[in-house]
Amino acid sequence: MKNHKNIENIEKYLRETPPLMGGVDWEISRACNYNCSYCLTKHRRKKEKNSPSSTPIFIDKFAKNLSGNWLFYFNSGEPFLLPDLPKITDELIKMGHHIELVTNFSASLEKIFEFCEVANRGLRRFWASLHLEHADLDEFFKKAILVRRLIGSRLSVASVARRGEVSKLAKIAMVFQNQRIPFSMQLERENYHNNKSARTALDPFVKYSKREFLIIKRFGRTYFLNNKRFLKFKGKLCWAGSKYFVVDANGDAWRCHQARNQDSLGNLLKGTFKLNTVPDICRYEYCACVNPINLGMVVI
């Protein structure tokens, strides 16, 4: 009886206590110098070749709408194509926020070093995405060694595991890991822009052979909690929408990636953005939102 009461108290505490740090997945740029066949944001870039020059307004809106320390994930497109990336980074860090960035690592070392120096201690993780369709592997590797010297273990390399090419990728992964550079494989998603039925499928990823799947698991990330390809939290309480949100280059915001075009939080640039104040039920069939999970958004 006493144990039962303790569990109830813990659940109540979790429901009422938001995660310490909030998170924003910011589609900081829609432009990209690559055109990967598996890119999920390709359709958005077709409509708009250049990123809108509204980044100063974003910074102002973040300052007005967010209290406390937030972790900003710069993603989608290629962030280093934005000329004012160091300035944006500097302003967010001065507000007390932290930065995590995903890049295709094609920028010059000079630009990458400049960014890392500005971000300095506010830089939580630097994800260098290896896109073998475009990148020169030797050049990528040499660059990774040099960037690692500057930012240490905050550098991680990730690559999409293409079906049929997983063994080849595992050999490449070992080369990075032998240099103490963490390497993770990302599951390739079914591209629902080409395949409409994939939009509502209960499993968002391509089908691998058993052997390939076991290799990916060795280099995998959060998806493999509980030994699954993805996570299911439908019906559970989640702080996404309150302490975490996704915002695109036009200012449209959603509680998480699964909620895109469904549970809108308004538009940050148009002044209609509003965060929830309490956790809400997850309504989605699966969760492939790595960042909110890592920030502890899901309650129980």
Work out how close the CB of 50 gets to ligand SF4 at its nearest, in angstroms, rounded to a whole number: 14
> Measured between alpha carbons, how far is 212 from 155 in angstroms, rounded to an integer?
25
> Measured between alpha carbons, how far is 32 from 45 in angstroms, rounded to an integer?
8
- Per CB under 6 A, the list member of 125, 131, 148, 243 interacting with ligand SF4 is 131
**Contact (CB, 8 A) for 38 and 191:** yes
Query: Residue 102: beta bridge partners?
Result: 127
Which of the stretches 63-71, 163-171, 214-222, 282-290 binds ligand SF4 when contact is defined by CB under 6 A? 282-290
- Residue type (1 letter), 200: T
- Per CB under 6 A, the list member of 93, 144, 157, 297 interacting with ligand SF4 is 297
Q: 183: helix, coil or strand?
A: strand
Indicate whether 181 belongs to the interface with ligand SF4 (CB under 6 A): no
Indicate whether 81 belongs to the interface with ligand SF4 (CB under 6 A): no
| Interacting residues with ligand SF4 between 89 and 108 (CB under 6 A) | 104
Work out how close the CB of 274 gets to ligand SF4 at its nearest, in angstroms, rounded to a whole number: 17
Indicate whether 71 belongs to the interface with ligand SF4 (CB under 6 A): no
> How many residues are recorded in the chain?
300
Could you tell me how many helices (H) and strands (E) the chain has, helices first?
Answer: 9, 11
- Per CB under 6 A, the list member of 101, 238, 253, 299 interacting with ligand SF4 is 238
- Per CB under 6 A, the list member of 93, 161, 256, 295 interacting with ligand SF4 is 256
Name which of 91 and 243 has its Cβ closer to ligand SF4: 243
Indicate whether 190 belongs to the interface with ligand SF4 (CB under 6 A): no
Query: Taking Cα atoms as reference points, which of 199, 202, 160, 206 lies closest to residue 183?
Result: 160
Name which of 93 and 243 has its Cβ closer to ligand SF4: 243
Residue 251 backbone dihedrals phi, psi, to 5 degrees = 95, -5
Indicate whether 36 belongs to the interface with ligand SF4 (CB under 6 A): yes
Work out how close the CB of 94 gets to ligand SF4 at its nearest, in angstroms, rounded to a whole number: 28
Indicate whether 118 belongs to the interface with ligand SF4 (CB under 6 A): no
Which of the stretches 65-73, 90-98, 190-198, 250-258 binds ligand SF4 when contact is defined by CB under 6 A? 250-258
Q: Count other C-beta atoms under 10 Å from residue 176's C-beta.
A: 23
Name which of 36 and 206 has its Cβ closer to ligand SF4: 36
**Contact (CB, 8 A) for 122 and 97:** yes
| Interacting residues with ligand SF4 between 38 and 67 (CB under 6 A) | 39, 41
**44 is written with which tokens?**
């958005």
**Contact (CB, 8 A) for 288 and 223:** yes
99's enclosing H/E stretch is strand 98-103
Indicate whether 240 belongs to the interface with ligand SF4 (CB under 6 A): yes
Distances (CA, A) of 72 to 127, 130, 263: 13, 21, 20
DSSP-H helix ranges across the chain: 2-16, 42-47, 55-65, 85-94, 109-119, 137-151, 166-178, 210-218, 290-294
Indicate whether 32 belongs to the interface with ligand SF4 (CB under 6 A): yes
Indicate whether 279 belongs to the interface with ligand SF4 (CB under 6 A): no
**Interface residues with ligand SF4 (CB under 6 A)?**
32, 34-36, 39, 41, 77-78, 104, 131, 233, 238, 240, 255-256, 258-259, 282, 284, 287, 289, 292, 297-298
